[in-house]
Amino acid sequence: MSPDLSSLLYLIASVCFIMALKGLSSPESARGGNLFGIVGMVIAVVTTLWLSHLGWPLVVTAMLVGGAIGTFISVRLQMTSLPQLIAAFHSLVGLAAVLVAGAALFKPEVFQIAEGSGIKVSSIVEMSVGTAIGAITFTGSIIAFAKLQGIMKGDPITFKGQHLLNLLLLLGIVALVAWFAMVGSADAIAAQKIFILVALASFILGFTLIIPIGGADMPVVISMLNSYSGWAACGIGFTLNNPLLIITGALVGSSGAILSYVMCKAMNRSLFNVILGGFGGGAAAASGPAAEKKPVKIGSAEDAAFILKNASSVVIVPGYGMAVAQAQHVVRELADTLKKEGVGVRYAIHPVAGRMPGHMNVLLAEANVPYEDVVELDEINRDFAQTDVAYIIGANDITNPSAKDDPKSPIFGMPVLDVEKAKTVFFVKRSMASGYAGIDNPLFYRDNTMMLLGDAKKVTEELVKAMSGGGH
């Protein structure tokens, strides 16, 4: 294959990826966007295989092994595990960037980056940047995975001098990259040692950057690591002089950065503030004992069914509790039952509901919820005052009124759904425990709130059954 033809094919694949991103920006066009992504990936893989110096058998074998593992994971994967799966995949992208950079360093002639007896200075800088970002992405994503999976606590893990250590590590990486650039072409052995030091320092920095971030900030972390993985690929793309890696890496990096900004805006926090450490943990410990003494109304499915059947408007607020219980299908059944009774039903989506950006949208789409019924925070908030019932499914933190009226709350200033303005609030959750941010929710104890304690799927099934049987 000629260089001109491969460049053209890579360009076509890049255009497909751009169209994929455009399509994925809206639920209505998501299927078409997914198709563009598949076509682009097929073109990219076939072109790369054609250009491969390793020979088809080795590459195809690696693809078959990876494809088999991916298929096995996707078949067994539950939707509740999707956030940690994405974190794990980000880690693999980061590790791949480090390994490719290492291969280019040890065999520069294969990657055509050799200059005389050494490596081009520009290539050294590019592979250094790609390695550093990739290593940070790898260990950072591993920590994010561990927190999401419950292997580690979601609370921030901090220690004295943490920020100073991160700063010193960052400055050390910059110094090592500069040293690498100065000696790379003259001393191959020294260059390899410096490269290993850059990777090790970056691995450590990825670890220390993510452990102080609390569970409530995890959607931002996921999108931030997504951005890192893109920039890592982009840096390696420059090293390999591969236009497809450069373009797609820049697409992923920039879209992830924009998404991180949107997530931070939704939480009224800056990305810098998130990176310096998340919130959560302390507030729950302080408010827990007091919360136990507060009066709370606990209702039954029959009580809730009677009120729902006599409502004219209902807003369903899905949260991580719906994901854990895999209740999206029965929630759709509840909405359909209400619509048959002449009740208007909509779904209120907070940008950081769940454990990753768009988590609730994915679950609702899986249950074939009509796109027009799904409404974002800014649009739905003004309607809660005219809503008869708000049906909340485990969405603790994004409905917490403390964000608006308690300056001492760690989430003060974070935009939340104004569910307390509805005439009646049904809150479905397993227990009276605080949410993922570790912060007690005063909404539980309001006069217009009725708690429906139990598994979200089971409670909603009982509701549907009670409504179908006529309620009271």
**Direct distance between the N- and C-terminal alpha carbons of the chain, in angstroms, rounded to an integer:** 74
Contact 248, 233 (CB under 8 A): yes
Instruction: Rounding to the nearest 10 degrees, give the CA dihedral for residues 177, 178, 180, 186.
Output: 160
Would you list the DSSP string of 348-416? EE-TT-SSSTTHHHHHHHHTT--GGGEEEHHHHGGGGGG-SEEEEES--GGG-THHHH-TTSTTTT---
Within 25-120, where are the H helices? 30-51, 56-76, 82-106
Angle (nearest 5°) at CA 323 between 391 and 412: 65
Q: What is the 3-state secondary structure (H, E, C) of 335-351?
A: HHHHHHCCCEEEEEECC
At residue 255, the 3 state secondary structure works out as helix
- Within 13 Å and on the Cβ side, how many CA atoms surround 113? 28
Within 107-187, where are the H helices? 121-149, 162-183
Tell me the β-bridge partners of 421.
none
Beta strands 344-349; 374-376: pairing state: parallel
Show which residues are catalytic.
Answer: 397
Tell me the β-bridge partners of 40.
none
How many other C-beta atoms lie within 10 A of the C-beta of residue 284?
18
The tokens describing 104, both together, are 């280019």
Which amino acid does the sequence have at 170?
L
Q: What is the rounded distance in angstroms from the CA atom of residue 248 to the CA atom of residue 233?
A: 8
Beta strands 118-119; 114-115: pairing state: antiparallel
**Burial class of 353 by CB neighbour count within 10 A (0 to 12, 13 to 18, 19+):** buried
Which strand (E) or helix (H) includes residue 276? none
Q: What is the rounded distance in angstroms from the CA atom of residue 52 to the CA atom of residue 408?
A: 59
Contact 433, 283 (CB under 8 A): no
Angle (nearest 5°) at CA 429 between 453 and 287: 100
Beta strands 424-429; 449-453: pairing state: parallel
At residue 460, the 3 state secondary structure works out as helix
At residue 423, the 3 state secondary structure works out as coil
Contact 422, 398 (CB under 8 A): no
